[in-house]
Structure 1
């Protein structure tokens, strides 16, 4: 087979596809290198080729002879033997959803990096002796932003400004009015105005992403089957910061037919990000074990000579795994079975291992919910502790019996603590 070199312009990539067609090629294997593979992958896929994206770590050549030509020949040889496993690539709709979600995540990071805009707003208020931060917990909340926008719009009367108080605000109207009596100098209002405008830039861009996401999720919901039952009440009603402005939980329920937020640790926003990374169809992974292995949350299996050399989990930069670890950290503080499992393992093996093990449990619940429509019901921390105690006692009794002893409980201590 002759070797040809092509450029990277779009026209050159179409010439590459034409040459593949002329050579009778039906399947193409390529390495994933940064973002450079994306245009090649998309054009070849559009032209009808079966494209397998390969992790370069899994297709290493023998030492020496390292060049583009030898790498390409080695990749073709491995692919002809069927030794290459393609990386997971979601369908077109989920890939679009993922792109919008990642762009929104970048905007959140940009806004966090420019938190000085909020600090400058607070500084301008302090220079006018408007003690807004003493009467609201967050000046970017509902009450704070209404008052700041009114000041920028020209309102100076503290009686009028106090009426912008949100019903959920703990401070009274009288307290807010007293805090908003200040020295409204033009230069300080000008600084406040510019800081507010810079803050609004990122908020407006995130709102644009939210609109795109809402339309896309609605289209996915119209394509799928309708849910069989009404969406139950949410477990937690508190809205988190930097979450999408539309009702993510209801929108996802219309697409999936299951409520992922029943799994403790998975809020609507985090569940949406997981769908963006893994898709709605998990048949790419035959079992939950395959899924957790792909996430690098399952123990390793490095054995030589019948001896286990290492069972450490593989390092991974998977966004889905990072989201599940975040969920595990959150659920570790809850009074749930998963929280009790996290705390027990954390005290014995350390927080790092507890986070990984709990993230794996959440991943299994996520897989079973999406793949089989399972409805999760938390048994609670108390029941988990009782089950764990029963399992420990049964193991001790079995061990004692094998050694010729009889295990007997202490009278009056029916439920001692087990760690």
Structure 2
């Protein structure tokens, strides 16, 4: 393989240790090799950085395995040109496998320019990505709690979902809180609870509430309700933090918001996953592939087999 980088290193990263292999020497000669192991603690990674600098290493490659590469990246990114390799693309040749050989193999591929690095956004975008992904998880958890409340209502033979389009709207929340607190709801109370814009009549709502609710139902609903409201507060706080992170990208958010079907939250997610510098993608096709919207080809003997889109970005 033709060499392209004089001084480079390959890192085989694990939870507790990093095995580093440095290749250095003239491009037209066989490179010299040195291997060393380091701890993944901050002190150990700083020693790794100093060790790489002592050999005047310019480029460093590591595999994107789990989350173990992230602390290594955070320490080294300011001093070296880092390459994050897809583990599938740098699979070693068959034979005896060791950490040292893996690090050496990565260094050899990098030295010959045979590794195409994955996209790693800047630190502020990575922070935004953590927030938007966590918001998504909290929204899913809130929906799960709402579904559990629906289930309890059905078990208690309370048919609010048949008369209210959204049980967790203004009217529905007032009624649910009264039910959870064990209040006796009469027609005059119901008139105060139901919003004037509600399409269903008070008689229909009262009839739907005529169920067989027990103390057990109220207790279960209280557990789900308290967790749901806690999640809603957490989501609200996350939204504020996301807004702060988006301050430097207001123009990009406003531009994305002009796309039909894409709101502010969608714009924030787009920036968090793709960044704002589109020059890191070679073409529109590469961008679509990174987003998981470009299914691969699975063809054999002239027959095309079914392929699926990625459900969620895992980078």
Indicate whether the TM-score tops 0.5.
yes
Match of 1:289 in 2: 285
Q: Is the alpha carbon distance of 1:62 and 1:157 closer, same or farther for their aligned partners in structure 2, counting shifts above 3 Å?
A: closer
Q: Is the 8 A contact 2:256 2:267 kept in 1?
A: no
| 1:18-417 superposed matches below 5 A | 18-45=50-77, 47-112=78-143, 117-119=148-150, 121-122=152-153, 126=157, 131-152=159-180, 155-158=183-186, 159-180=188-209, 188-221=217-250, 224=251, 252-253=253-254, 257-259=255-257, 261-262=259-260, 266=262, 269-294=265-290, 295=292, 297=294, 300=297, 317=310, 319=312
Aligned residue pair count: 280
Q: Distance in 2 between matches of 1:316 and 1:160?
A: 51
Greater strand fraction, Structure 1 or Structure 2: 2
Higher relative contact order (CA 8 A, sep 6+): 2
Residue 5 of structure 1 and its aligned partner are, at CA, apart by 0.7
Match of 2:10 in 1: none
Q: Is the alpha carbon distance of 1:81 and 1:260 closer, same or farther for their aligned partners in structure 2, counting shifts above 3 Å?
A: farther
RMSD over equivalenced CA pairs, Å: 3.5
Q: Is the 8 A contact 1:155 1:161 kept in 2?
A: no
Deviations 1:389-416 (A, max 9, x none): xxxxxxxxxxxxxxxxxxxxxxxxxxxx
Q: Distance in 1 between matches of 2:64 and 2:114?
A: 16
SS at match of 2:205: helix
Q: Distance in 2 between matches of 1:188 and 1:314?
A: 45
Q: Is the 8 A contact 1:28 1:50 kept in 2?
A: yes
Partner of residue 7 from structure 1, selected from 34, 39, 51: 39
Can you give the 5+ residue segments of structure 1 that lack an aligned partner in the other structure?
Answer: 226-251, 322-419
Residue 72 of structure 1 and its aligned partner are, at CA, apart by 0.6
SS at match of 1:5: strand
Q: Is the 8 A contact 1:97 1:216 kept in 2?
A: yes
Can you give the 5+ residue segments of structure 2 that lack an aligned partner in the other structure?
Answer: 1-32
SS at match of 1:69: helix
Greater helix fraction, Structure 1 or Structure 2: 1
Q: Distance in 1 between matches of 2:190 and 2:60?
A: 65
